[in-house]
Chains A and B, each alone.
Chain A
Amino acid sequence: MSAAQSLSSYLLISAALFSIGVFGLLSRRNLVAILISLELILNSASLNFVAFNKFSLVDKALGQVFAIFIIALAAAEVCIGLSLILLLHRKKDSINVDEARELRG
């Protein structure tokens, strides 16, 4: 079996995607970049679903359905996230996440 057809190669790519997403989430100050990192994490999850679906014999469609759900969810999430960022930009004239810390204890 070639490397392209093994489960672990899919999972490795998914893990890499997830790590890049988390790194972006923690390191970037730009809120749009943070949103993009979030998308990476979601995509790593859907990749996992599809990969497991392909290599397991339970039900051929189940994992793919979940991947479609995640895409829909990500679209909705980006909608809300972008509108929030837009509001923040109107209020603060900036989309730097460190500027928005009114809720500190």
Chain B
Amino acid sequence: MTDLHLFWVIQLAPLLAFLLIQVLPKTINKVAPAIGMAFSLTAALASLNLSFAHSQGAGLPVEFSRQWLVVADYAVWPNIPVPHYTLSVGFLLDPLNLLMITLVTTISFFVQLFSFYYMNEDPSRPRYFGFLSFFSFSMTGLVLSNNLLQTFLFWELVGLTSYLLIGFWFEKKSAATAARKAFVINRLADLGFYLGIILLFLLFGTLGFATLKADALRNVLGHGTLTLIGLLIFCGVMGKSAQFPFHVWLPDAMEGPTPVSALIHSATMVAAGVFLLARAFDLFSASHTTLLVILSIGAITALMSATLAAIQRDIKRILAYSTVSQLGLMVMAIGAGSAESGMFHLSTHAYFKSLLFLTSGAFIHRFHTNDIWEIADRGGKKDAVALGCLAFGLLSLSGVPPFAGFFSKDLILEVLKHHGGIFFYGVAVLVSFLTAYYSFRLFFVIALSKIGHEVRAHHESLTLKISRALPLFSLAALSLITGFTGHAFHLNMELLITTVILVVAGGALAYSQFKDPAAAEAALRGNQGFIFKILERKFFMDDAYDFLVKKVGLALGRWLNAFDRAVINSLMVNQTSFSVMRLGRVVSRLQNGLLQDYLAWAVGIGILIVFCFL
């Protein structure tokens, strides 16, 4: 099969699965998971095939493109690089795509496998697996597309599936609210993205990634325009990748089923923003102002959410804030000018974070609670498979060598040290320290607590056991080996020592506070300190949005409503019609039916005309 055939397989297999699941009669809906898994396995194998065929990177990039429509055959802007405004559709094949597509399809397969265990008792499984397949379709479309507009279309589709899956249990009010919040915030951010695309198309004439080169852009556009376009498109990235101040939707998105969090809200969709930064890197790097803004936003996000992750009790929220923080690190790396290190961290993070989320799903499904103290209380540490995988994931997250997270985080630290300046390097170091701290805190609370309840024996069929353990083990293995696949693989002794010191310090601090989790919890409950309050209120970000929407937004709405009623509606619309009616009433008196009155008018006006014009 040629590359193009493989592309079509990768792209269409999940869509086919979605359609099949949709048309399936209700009576045999038990096979929905099997369909989902079979097709996602096909896509995963196809993408693995593709990556191995091109592992040397020879002859790349290859573009399969087809003209879609000619928007205008004249240039509204001088010296654009193309004579016509044309839009194309197509696939792009380069190392970046290969990395991302492999990651998306493999994790998608593992998550579907795990979902078979996690959603085993849910009556609406077909809907779940259908949406999951549809997500895979949209995500592969996003990754493979060769131009910004096509990316944007699939970008919106992943947003839609994210909304559908966060609100999967829509009977639960909090889930429905969270889904709405995610949707609205993403739409707000995507508005900027769309404006950026329009502006770029208008002024540059083409949206193909292959033509978006920094030199070409600088030739055509001024620095200010480039910055504006870059920042508008970065706005979309901020929404999707949950960067400050649009990060508030991601922790709430944890209302969805846990495998969904693993796939969409940690590994793939939220990474799409970072992927776009790397994909259209020249667009951003063409203006150093844009890069500086990206760097700063990444730094704020990384630091803010790392501190928030350190006080959460809900295992999924810890991981969610950790995801936001790690995304912030990736964005920082790209802002510092190194798309490679950002993408490298993206890929390692995808594996170990989906591992962590699936592990948390394993805990949650078995112990029916999200609270880490309660998981511990109900016997979390007796669950050897989950605990072992949790340890694997957390070691990778906190950056212990030789786990994958160590290599990628090291690379980011190195990049920031050399290109980001001492301030941003310091932020990244602090974030790494906090990462180690909250990772070890999570582990110590579960592993060191005393078990309060007697642990019930779990009777699960062999199939369920496999579908629980296999994805965990596979992802654990991947999160160990992906670190060695980075093409920029090398060791820097100074940074190695820094990292180890950070991890040990974070671990030690966590151990000193949480060696007795029960006492620590009591202390936590009693803590009324100022900083703790701020952290508990999440830096008042939700309150700020609340204020913006409920106070400012509603006040503005009321004012506009009053303006609309008083000025537009009564004064302009109604008064116009009323005055026409009044005039009509006056004028209709002229038509009194008396013939001689009409004659008198005619004669009078005739005389008037004669005297006026003669």
Contacts and interface: CB of A to CB of B under 8 A. Distances in A.
Interface of A: 22, 25-26, 29, 97-98, 100-105
A25 B593 contact: no
A102 B595 CA distance: 11
Given A26-B596, A105-B590, 4 more contacts: A25-B599, A26-B600, A103-B591, A105-B591
Contacts of A25: 596, 599
Nearest to A98: B594
Nearest to B584: A105
B592 A105 contact: yes
A105 B595 contact: no
A104 B593 CA distance: 4
Contacts of B66: none
B56 interface: no
A100 B588 contact: no
A98 B590 CA distance: 15
Interface string B581-614: 0000000111111111001100100000000000
A105 B599 CA distance: 16
Given A105-B588, A105-B589, A26 B599 contact: yes
Could you say which of A29, A98, A100, A105 has the most chain B C-beta atoms within 10 Å of its C-beta? A105
A96 B596 CA distance: 11
Contacts of B603: 22, 26
Interface residues of B, number: 12
A98 to B, nearest CB: 6
Could you say which of B591, B596, B603 has the most chain A C-beta atoms within 10 Å of its C-beta? B596
Contacts of A105: 588-593
Contacts of B596: 25-26, 29, 97-98
B302 to A, nearest CB: 78
A97 B596 CA distance: 8
Nearest to A97: B595
A25 to B, nearest CB: 6
Given A22-B603, A26-B600, A100 B595 contact: yes
6 contacts: A25-B599, A98-B596, A100-B593, A101-B595, A104-B594, A105-B589
A11 to B, nearest CB: 15
A101 B599 contact: no
Interface in B150-203: none
A29 B593 CA distance: 14
Contacts of B592: 101, 104-105
A100 B598 CA distance: 13
A35 to B, nearest CB: 12
A87 B600 CA distance: 25
Nearest to B604: A26
B413 to A, nearest CB: 89
A102 B593 CA distance: 6
Contacts of B594: 97-98, 101, 104
A85 to B, nearest CB: 12
A6 B77 CA distance: 80
Interface in B556-595: 588-595
A96 to B, nearest CB: 11
B600 A101 contact: no
A9 to B, nearest CB: 22
Interface string B276-292: 00000000000000000
Contacts of A26: 596, 599-600, 603
Could you say which of A25, A29, A100 has the most chain B C-beta atoms within 10 Å of its C-beta? A25
Nearest to B603: A22
Nearest to A104: B593
A33 to B, nearest CB: 11
A47 B61 CA distance: 100
A104 B591 contact: yes
A22 B589 CA distance: 24
Nearest to A27: B596
Cβ-closest 10 pairs across A and B: A101-B593, A104-B593, A105-B591, A105-B588, A104-B592, A97-B595, A103-B593, A26-B596, A26-B600, A101-B594
Contacts of A29: 596
B42 to A, nearest CB: 80
A105 B588 CA distance: 6
A102 B603 CA distance: 23
Contacts of B589: 105
